[in-house]
Every structure is written in structure tokens, then in C-alpha cells.
Amino acid sequence: MTHRIADTFYDALAKLSPQEQKQVKQSAFDFQMDPSLPGFSTHRVDRARDPDFWTARVNRDIRMVIHKKDGDTLLAWVGHHDDAYRWAETRRIEAHPKTGVVQIVEARESVEDIVVQRYVEEAVRMPRLFADEHDETLLSWGVPEDWLDTVRDATEDTILDIAHRLPGEAADALLAAATGSRPAPAPIVADDQDPWQHPDTLRRFRVVDNVEELREALDAPWEKWSVFLHPAQREFVDRDFNGPARVIGSAGTGKTVVALHRAARLAKDPDARVLLTTFNRRLARALNEKVPLVANGDTRKRIHVEALGPLVGRLHAERFGDSELVDEETLRTLLADAAQDQGLSADPEFLFDEWSLIVDAWAVPDQETYRDLPRLGRKLRMAASRRDALWAVFAQVRQELISKGLKTETQLAHELREVGEIPFTHALVDEAQDISVAELLLLGSTLGNQLNGLFFAGDIGQRIFRAPFPWSAAKVDVRGRSRSLKVNYRTSHQIRLRSDLLLPETLVEADGSEEARLGVTSVFDGPAPELRAFADRSDEIREVATWVEAIADQGVSSDEIAILVRQDAMIAQLPEGLANHATIMPMHDAKGAEFRAVAIPFLDQDVLPDETRLLAARDEGQLDEVMNTERHLLYVAATRARDFLWMSGTEPLSDFLSDLIQARKAE
Ligand SMILES: Nc1ncnc2c1ncn2[C@@H]1O[C@H](COP(=O)(O)OP(=O)(O)OP(=O)(O)O)[C@@H](O)[C@H]1O
């Protein structure tokens, strides 16, 4: 007897009250132990299209919908009595005629008349998106047979509604096709494959092998991602890589989820020591909180979560004893003094960047290497004589640091690399777009050649902290082992479409490789983002406060509403009472977080891009870098929103915001 849970059960459960959820979890558990208990008073659903649907009683009102076939049971749905019956009466569970994958199919004729009427009316008025597609093509995308005509009638206005009633693989394909991509046929069940083991089946049905597994699933908060993965995510979790591998994808496509599951998968090996890391403590804490959702017991113990900087400091201290670190101010003074001693006139900012981004970052050992070094992401070209003069300065600073017994943080990573060991068999790096050169060199040299040694999850469109550099120069080559995820689980279709406009359609990495960001789809729909321009700051503040309060009035709690600002000082401009309704923080701190509603006020011309950063840029390369990271920052902020997004400024507006407003007007 096999027990399964469907993703529809999770979705339905999430809509019940906390008290009801608790009762359902207990009932689901008892049911698994003994489905014949009289308390469930199971009934076959008489009018069901699928004769194998039954209901089981949770309390006077709540019913679980169970699918029973050949001795197997599936928890399919849960909800109030009448809703549960209606759900069961209008669904079938069946193998798709073309792909063989097991699907839950909503009966086409059950879609309410009014909705059907709308599909038809829209089809008359607007171009039909799939009018010319053959049955065979639509079937090859996983569209259920009785939905073929409805899909063919889909227009731009109805496609989302239709897609969300279809099995995931069909929805992915149709939404991708609607946005200009040409989907490949969905993989079919092989002759020797169990249809229940196919990746598209596994994205909606999970087997719970034993009572222990169900207990885990029931004890964990019902986070869908901890149980159901998209096949593209699953592939990255399960596949073995003979070298560094990487998952990329725009915000909200489930990269962190992949890293977590992969860490858990690798940690099942009793000899594994898995490092799950990222680039700051806050993000590491957030990762650590999620680990119990994917791993427990000994597997959990074999996963170590720590931010890279602190990890390097700790491992270095364990190996070499404590070190005194040089602070930035001292370093700047040393650089300025050395430049003066060497008779070199150079911009202090340039000297500092050249030291941090090149000499120290890459542990450049001597003058010859420095002279011959490719510029590694630095746009400025330099004559050999100029490099020699600069080297004299850097060499003096190195000497000074040694004589004062000071080290840079970067140096700690290099010294660890030289001893060539870290106490892990695997490392997985989340938010890898912001990894430093020295950290990448360290991980690359210690784990880069091991089977499944290194795995990265990141998005170059969200690089906001560190300067870009070519990973190949750090001998970390992910070519052929890097793929992108295309389904956005976090942000509504409307918010994603707007946010995507903030970035170019193709992003270029420091080594010249390109990432096309087209073809991403969202799994749900929501209101259009509010994009507002004000003539007066007080009006802007009043309106943003009204918007936040209206969302709070809908019952959204203050930790689910964020107000994100570019500079800390702006927080004081907001009315004090707003903090009761929303979490207020700088945009940078929102990295990795998500909220139901996000407001981003104060998007003025001198705020984003940040004027001080712009003025400090010394050349075109730096100007580009400031523009890119500021643009990424707004993208990060906007894509924290799941359902509601507000962006506003007081004129003159940030170019980023006015471009979005113009684009909307042009639609
Ligand atoms: N297979 C899945 N099923 C349901 N929800 C999912 C799935 N994968 C991811 N999610 C949800 O999507 C949201 C975004 O996931 P995640 O944080 O992993 O994305 P990300 O790509 O790392 O985002 P970012 O780049 O913004 O950090 C989370 O709320 C997560 O629970």
C-alpha cells in the first residue's frame, strides 16, 4: 500500500485556519496509520467523475478528499464539507494520453459558465494565442485532452486563468509560449518507468513511505517547496556533477530551495560534511532556519550553515591562531603614505580599489605577475611603467602590514587556501553572485575537483555588494554545468513582468557569457503594481501610508508588509505609526527575504542611483558599475513582493521609476 500527498492538498490546507490545520494534520496522520478507523466515516463521492474519490471526516465541517485505487491512497484536497465534495466531483486523476504522466484534471465542463462565457467573449475580441497549434503539439506540452479547445481559445487576458487550472507542465509550456518562447515537448513516461516516478508526476504527488516520513511532513510547517519540486529543480538536486555546477535564474525561481534540497541530498551520505553558505550572517541565519524543513536527524547534523566571511575567520583562527585584522581606515593611510614615499601621485580611491580588487583579492605575489595580469574585470587599462610604479606602493604596504602584524580578511582566505584543506566534502553557496575572489579561489582549489564538491546558486541580476570578476580566472569553470530555472514561485505574474523591465533581457557575465532572462513564468496572478509619481513629498508619504494601512486592514500582518528605502536616513521621514503595520528597512537588508506586500517610496532622481556613489565614480567603467548595482538593488527590492507592490517617488523621479511609468503608458 502506497500513501501519497498531492500538492493540491497542501494548497487547500494553507487556506484553513490554524486550528483547522492542526486538526487536519492529526487526521492525516491517523489516516495513514489506519484508514479504516470508523471516526473518518469515509464515503465514496457519488457524483464524482472519478469513481475512486472518497471523503474522510476531520470534524463536523472539514473533509479530506482521498483518492483510493489498487490499495493505494492519496490525500488530494481538504476543506469545508460542500467545497470538498464539489472539488472531488469535478476532478479526475489519470495518466495523460500522450505523456503518460499522472495528472489531476479539472473537468472542463465544471469551469463555471461565467468563466467559460468570458473565454469565448474574449476570444471574439482578441487574438487567440494558440489558434494554430495542432492537438498533437498541445498534447505534447501536457495539456489534458478535454482542455484542448479551451486552450485554443485562450487570449492574452484569459491565458493566466486557464493555465492555472491546468497541470503544472502544461501551464509552464503555455505561459512560456505566450511570452514568446517555443516550449519543448514535456518528457514522456518511458516504457520501463513507473508513471508515479516521472519528474512531472513527482512535482505534484509525493510518496510518504512510512509513518515517520508523514510525521516529518506533518510536523514541518506546510511549506510546499519542502515537499514538491519542479522537475528542473529536482534535476539540480539529484544530479551528480564532476566539477563545479551552478543554478541560476531570476528572483524567486527557487534557487535557494534547490541549494537546500541538494545539501540535504548530499548529507545523506554518512561520510559527507556539507557546507551550506552564503555571503552574510543574516542570510546564513535565514538558510539555517530552513534546513530542518529538508533534513533531520543525522542528515541535519552533517549540514553546517555559516556565512563565508565568519567561516574563513574561524577556520583560519583554528589553524593559525588569532589574527589582528587591519581596518579600512588604517589601510587607506598605509596606501597614501606609501604612495607619498614612492613619489607616486594617484587618486586615493583608485589606489584602494586597485589594492582590494586586484592585488589583495588575487594575492598577486610580485611585480612581474602584476605587470602581466589581465585586468580581471577592471575596465581601466594601464601601461607597464605605471604598473611598476604602483607595485612599489603595494609592496611597501605589504611590508608594513607584516611589520605591524596586521592582516586583511582576504589574506586569511588565501592562507587557508595555501594549506589546501577545509573540513568539508561539499560546499553549496547561495547568493553566489556576491562571492568574493578570495572566497571563490579558496573553495575552487579545495573542492573544485571533487565529485559534487561545489555548487552555486545565484543571479547576476541581483549582484549588489561585490564587483564582478571572471570565475574562470579563479579556475572555477561551470560551463556545461550551469542551467537556469524559469518558473517563478514567489512573485505574481504582474509584479514579475514589471520588475523584469528593470534589467536588460540579456545580462553579460564578467567572462563574457550571456544569460537570457526571457521565458520566465509565474505560478499565480495578482493586482498590477502601483507606480506613482508625486509633486510633493508630503503627498507621497501620505499616500504610501494609506496604501500600507489598506493592506494591513485586509489582515496582512506587519511582518508580511515591508517598506524598503535606499538610505537608512529615509526611515525617519515615514510617519512613526507605520512601523505598527510594516517592517521598515534599507533595500540592501531585504536581500533573500520575501513579503506579501512591498512599498518602495522615495525613488527620486538623486536617490536611485545614489548620488554620492555616482559622484564618486572616476571613470566610465565605475559609472557603469554604479548604475548596474543600483539597478540590481531596485530589482532585488521589487522582487521581494509576492502579491502587492508599490513604487513611488517625488519629482524629479529616479530614471528607473520613470522608465517603468513610461513603459506602462506605452502599453
Ligand atoms: N517547487 C516549489 N513549490 C512551491 N514553492 C516554491 C518552490 N520552489 C520555490 N518555491 C517558493 O518560491 C519562493 C522563492 O524561492 P527561493 O527563495 O528559493 O528563490 P530564489 O530563486 O533563491 O530567489 P532570490 O533570487 O530572490 O533569492 C519561496 O517562497 C519558496 O518557498
Write out 254-297 in H/E/C secondary structure.
CHHHHHHHHHHHHHCCCCCCEEEECCCHHHHHHHHHHHHHCCCH
- Phi first, then psi: give them for residue 426, nearest 5 degrees: -140, 145
- Whether domain 229-316+422-485 has CATH 3.40.50.300: the reply is yes
Enter the C-alpha cell of residue 260: 537546500
Ligand 1, atom nearest to 640 Cα: 26
The CB of 224 under 6 Å from ligand 1? The reply is yes
Spatial neighbors of 155 by CB under 8 A, at least 6 apart, are 119, 122, 123, 125, 126, 127, 128, 129
CB burial of 542-579 (b: ≥16 within 10 Å; e: otherwise) equals ebbbebbeebbeeebeeebbbbbbbeeebeeebeeebe
Q: Residues 416, 442: contact at Cβ < 8 Å?
A: yes
Ligand 1, atom nearest to 489 Cα: 12
Mutate to test the pocket of ligand 1, among 164, 434, 489 (most ligand atoms within 8 A of CB): 489
As a whole number of angstroms, the distance between CA 536 and CA 150 comes to: 49
Identify the top-confidence range among 116-120, 130-134, 266-270, 617-621: 266-270
Mean pLDDT over 84-107 rounds to 94
Return the pLDDT at 592: 86
The CB of 256 under 6 Å from ligand 1? The reply is yes
Mutate to test the pocket of ligand 1, among 222, 225, 228, 503 (most ligand atoms within 8 A of CB): 225
Mutate to test the pocket of ligand 1, among 256, 260, 594 (most ligand atoms within 8 A of CB): 256
Q: What angle do CA 342, 346, 349 make, to 5 degrees?
A: 125
Spatial neighbors of 129 by CB under 8 A, at least 6 apart, are 154, 155, 156, 159, 177, 178
What would the pLDDT profile of 385-419 be if each residue is shown by its tens digit?
888 899 999 999 999 999 999 999 999 999 999 99
Enter the C-alpha cell of residue 588: 540592501
Q: Which pairs from 112-116 meet CB under 8 Å and 24+ separation?
A: 115/161, 116/150
What would the pLDDT profile of 502-538 be if each residue is shown by its tens digit?
998 888 877 777 777 777 888 888 999 999 999 999 9
Mean pLDDT over 206-228 rounds to 73
CA of 253 to the centre of ligand 1 (A): 5
As a whole number of angstroms, the distance between CA 512 and CA 516 comes to: 13
Residue nearest to atom 13 of ligand 1 (CA): 490
Ligand 1, atom nearest to 224 Cα: 4
Mutate to test the pocket of ligand 1, among 490, 595, 639 (most ligand atoms within 8 A of CB): 490
Return the pLDDT at 209: 75
Return the pLDDT at 161: 86
Return the pLDDT at 264: 96
Return the pLDDT at 253: 94
Is the pLDDT at 379 greater than 60, yes or no?
no
CA of 618 to the centre of ligand 1 (A): 38
Return the pLDDT at 47: 86
Ligand 1, atom nearest to 257 Cα: 18
CA of 225 to the centre of ligand 1 (A): 7
Return the pLDDT at 378: 56
Q: Residues 41, 227: contact at Cβ < 8 Å?
A: no
3-class secondary structure per residue, 137-165: HHHHCCCCHHHHHHHHCCCCCCHHHHHCC
- Phi first, then psi: give them for residue 41, nearest 5 degrees: 30, 65
As a whole number of angstroms, the distance between CA 461 and CA 263 comes to: 24
DSSP, collapsed to helix, strand or coil, labels residue 64 as strand
Mean pLDDT over 256-270 rounds to 97
The topology (CATH level 3) of 493-666 is: Rossmann fold (3.40.50)
Same fold, 229-316+422-485 and 493-666: yes
Stronger pLDDT, 643 or 180, i.e. the higher one: 643
What would the pLDDT profile of 352-368 be if each residue is shown by its tens digit?
989 999 999 999 999 98
The CB of 280 under 6 Å from ligand 1? The reply is no
The CB of 459 under 6 Å from ligand 1? The reply is yes
DSSP, collapsed to helix, strand or coil, labels residue 649 as strand
Mean pLDDT over 342-347 rounds to 89
The CB of 294 under 6 Å from ligand 1? The reply is no
Spatial neighbors of 31 by CB under 8 A, at least 6 apart, are 37, 40, 56, 64, 66, 73, 75
Sign of the torsion formed by the C-alpha atoms of 105, 109, 115 and 119: positive
Enter the C-alpha cell of residue 64: 479530506
Enter the C-alpha cell of residue 170: 502544461
Q: Residues 19, 27: contact at Cβ < 8 Å?
A: no
Report which of 524, 469, 468 is spatially closest to residue 496, judged by C-alpha positions: 524
Mean of the per-residue pLDDT values for the chain? Answer: 90
Return the pLDDT at 377: 53
For the chain, the structural domain boundaries read 3-197, 229-316+422-485, 327-407, 493-666
Tell me: is residue 333 an annotated ligand-binding position.
no
Return the pLDDT at 511: 75
Ligand 1, atom nearest to 458 Cα: 25
Sign of the torsion formed by the C-alpha atoms of 543, 544, 545 and 551: positive
Report which of 257, 295, 289 is spatially closest to residue 274, judged by C-alpha positions: 295
Report which of 41, 149, 36, 173 is spatially closest to residue 101, judged by C-alpha positions: 173
Write down the ipTM of this complex: 0.99
The CB of 254 under 6 Å from ligand 1? The reply is yes
What would the pLDDT profile of 102-111 be if each residue is shown by its tens digit?
999 998 766 6
Tell me: is residue 256 an annotated ligand-binding position.
yes
The topology (CATH level 3) of 3-197 is: YaeB-like fold (3.30.2310)
As a whole number of angstroms, the distance between CA 345 and CA 98 comes to: 72
Report which of 136, 145, 135, 181 is spatially closest to residue 166, judged by C-alpha positions: 145
Find the range with the poorest average confidence among 366-380, 470-484, 628-642. Answer: 366-380
Tell me: is residue 252 an annotated ligand-binding position.
yes
Q: Residues 457, 245: contact at Cβ < 8 Å?
A: no
Q: Residues 313, 306: contact at Cβ < 8 Å?
A: no
Find the range with the poorest average confidence among 480-494, 505-519, 520-534, 590-604. Answer: 505-519
Enter the C-alpha cell of residue 25: 494534520
The CB of 250 under 6 Å from ligand 1? The reply is no
Q: Residues 277, 260: contact at Cβ < 8 Å?
A: no
- Number of Cα atoms under 13 Å in the Cβ half of residue 564: 28
Mean pLDDT over 444-458 rounds to 96
Is the pLDDT at 334 greater than 80, yes or no?
yes
Residue nearest to atom 23 of ligand 1 (CA): 252
As a whole number of angstroms, the distance between CA 453 and CA 426 comes to: 4
As a whole number of angstroms, the distance between CA 290 and CA 226 comes to: 9
CA of 244 to the centre of ligand 1 (A): 22
Is the pLDDT at 501 greater than 80, yes or no?
yes
